[in-house]
Structure 1
């Protein structure tokens, strides 16, 4: 099962982007969709770790609300791409050790080369990292470079119609998430138009449009696309219109950071690999509990899209709620070497 194309650390997306659109095969489309699933999944641990480091539990508070809604968007994107893969006969793979996210490290497939994604508490720096993950091909008002997630999805959108005849509508999951945004329902892919509409939602929720930084499928009025929402938190200023030519800049009202647990960056392979900060038995137990819940969630999601599944993802939200509580217990434990910082969840898959 652990093929080169599935290897999280490979540059498979870069390789796929180098293949001319007219030369893509059915297998390359399936590989691209599996890679897109891995991409969507890879954003959730860093975003959730930052969210769960916020100590005020009020989900209506601005920064907490913003990050929480973005996580719901990412979950929706993940589900939509899983439906795209299974409707053409592909198999969603989440529990092969080769496919699970690894931190710190680059995004899967070589997207945004050189960007190191890490797990840690919310800060201006981590918000800047999240903005870099969501970077549009052409951000409003300034230049971008490198391969972006949006460009990869555009390639999938360009190629998919050639394989529209493969669409079966089989093994589809249907989840109502409209309360988090007009485009957030995970809907079945029964026609090529369903696929292209879903890709449009994924692209514009993450990047905005060429004309506006706003999320065109918001959960609340004036919600920004992920890139600009994270950039606001990183800069500490609202992104507002400037001048008479439709420009925007980060010169609006201040955005204060909420109080957080000072979660340190989680080392590669977990805290056992941090000399002097190796967890004691109690902390190791808390870390293991979280990792076990995370692993159960991946298994539940994989099963939902499998031949043996019942098409429901109901266990996953419940497990995420338990993961949040487990993470907050971990966030309360100070590091032995530097008690100004605390442990954080490792997000390690337990085979």
Structure 2
């Protein structure tokens, strides 16, 4: 992997700056690698917010909304991996230069005004989630549009149309997940231009909605909105509903949404808690943090192996190994949030998501 494609590079900015006629197979492989990194980058901050909710059963609506978004993002990452392998590429996930760095910017130089950090669920973290998912032109808002992740996917979509002959169906991972997580969330074989285009449509609509509606057509729960609007209505404290008299037909004027009671997980310093003298954990707690980081790193390794084998059974086994580690992460994260920081702030520790090479 060249340094030009590393997480903290300006690769996406450079890719978007290339004229459309020059967006060939190499462009598409580089863009898809960056898209994989983008999808991965959203997961740790969303998961920290999800895991910080103290009583999911009491705050079921908010918990379910964020969990559905997390599952969508995982599916998106898998679909993009299938897009890369179908044109002969190999996803790189398990590498120090490619994993997310927090606090920091999104990979590739996209949306440089956003600083992505790890903390519990708060109004500030919800605002950050909204900034990540923000469409080019949100429904029910009147702000200047800015370049979005959706714009990057639109460029990938167009490049696939120009290079449809590259789609060969290599090393495709399939997993049925619609019954548990909703329409469009299965990993499907992308061996035709239509299949690829449909998958990109799912990713874009689940994240940003359409130009005319915030609804998520590929929902797991009835009435589910696209990610941006789900986060936004939690932040606003009221459901986004259709209002015929509103300028765009939608307004945050529905039933109240109460912020869940959450662990006050502090913001993880760059490089982990031990980097700040005021937050330095005890030896026992550091051991728990390291175990979490190893689980996370092993998960990334198994995900990379999933798309690097031509043996379908081996791919399925690798994906199963990744899922097992994913399930363990939630328990480990909540255990960390039981421990208050030693600075007297009342805030707690939480997962660092630091990469530890195998």
| TM-score (normalizing by structure 2) | 0.95
Task: Quote the residue 2:175 is aligned against.
Answer: 175
Task: Quote the residue 2:343 is aligned against.
Answer: 337
1:247 CA drift (Å): 1.8
Counterparts of residues 245-284 of structure 1 (less than 5 Å): 246-284=248-286
- Report Cα offsets for 1:93-145 as digits up to 9, x if no partner: 01111100110011111111211010000011111110110010111132343
Q: Which runs of 5+ in 2 are unaligned?
A: none
Does 1:97 find its partner at 2:96?
A: yes
Q: Which moved more, 1:139-148 or 1:299-308?
A: 139-148
1:5 CA drift (Å): 3.3
Task: Quote the residue 1:300 is aligned against.
Answer: 302
Alpha-carbon distance between aligned partners in 2 of 1:231 and 1:46, rounded to the nearest angstrom: 16
| Contact residue 59 and residue 260 of structure 2 kept, 8 A | no
1:33 CA drift (Å): 0.2
Alpha-carbon distance between aligned partners in 2 of 1:201 and 1:233, rounded to the nearest angstrom: 23
| Contact residue 84 and residue 189 of structure 1 kept, 8 A | yes
Residue 315 of structure 2 is aligned with which of 293, 311, 316?
311
Task: Quote the residue 2:80 is aligned against.
Answer: 81
Q: The residue matched to 1:301 in structure 2 has which SS?
A: helix
Alpha-carbon distance between aligned partners in 1 of 2:34 and 2:355, rounded to the nearest angstrom: 18
Counterparts of residues 147-162 of structure 1 (less than 5 Å): 147-162=147-162
| Contact residue 113 and residue 147 of structure 1 kept, 8 A | no
Q: Which moved more, 1:337-346 or 1:261-270?
A: 337-346
CA RMSD of aligned residues (A): 1.4
1:166 CA drift (Å): 1.6
Does 1:287 find its partner at 2:293?
A: no
| TM-score (normalizing by structure 1) | 0.97
Q: The residue matched to 2:250 in structure 1 has which SS?
A: strand
- Report Cα offsets for 1:49-77 as digits up to 9, x if no partner: 11000111439801000000000000000
Q: Which moved more, 1:248-257 or 1:150-159?
A: 248-257
- Report Cα offsets for 1:248-298 as digits up to 9, x if no partner: 122222211111111000000000111221111111011011001000100
Alpha-carbon distance between aligned partners in 2 of 1:140 and 1:16, rounded to the nearest angstrom: 28
Residue 327 of structure 2 is aligned with which of 303, 317, 321?
321
- Report Cα offsets for 1:229-259 as digits up to 9, x if no partner: 0011111111122234652122222211111
Alpha-carbon distance between aligned partners in 2 of 1:195 and 1:308, rounded to the nearest angstrom: 20
Alpha-carbon distance between aligned partners in 2 of 1:308 and 1:165, rounded to the nearest angstrom: 21
Counterparts of residues 45-194 of structure 1 (less than 5 Å): 45-58=44-57, 61-141=60-140, 142-178=142-178, 179-194=180-195
| Contact residue 171 and residue 310 of structure 2 kept, 8 A | no
Task: Quote the residue 2:229 is aligned against.
Answer: 228
| Contact residue 136 and residue 144 of structure 1 kept, 8 A | no
1:162 CA drift (Å): 2.1
Alpha-carbon distance between aligned partners in 1 of 2:70 and 2:100, rounded to the nearest angstrom: 16
Q: The residue matched to 1:285 in structure 2 has which SS?
A: helix
Q: The residue matched to 1:238 in structure 2 has which SS?
A: strand
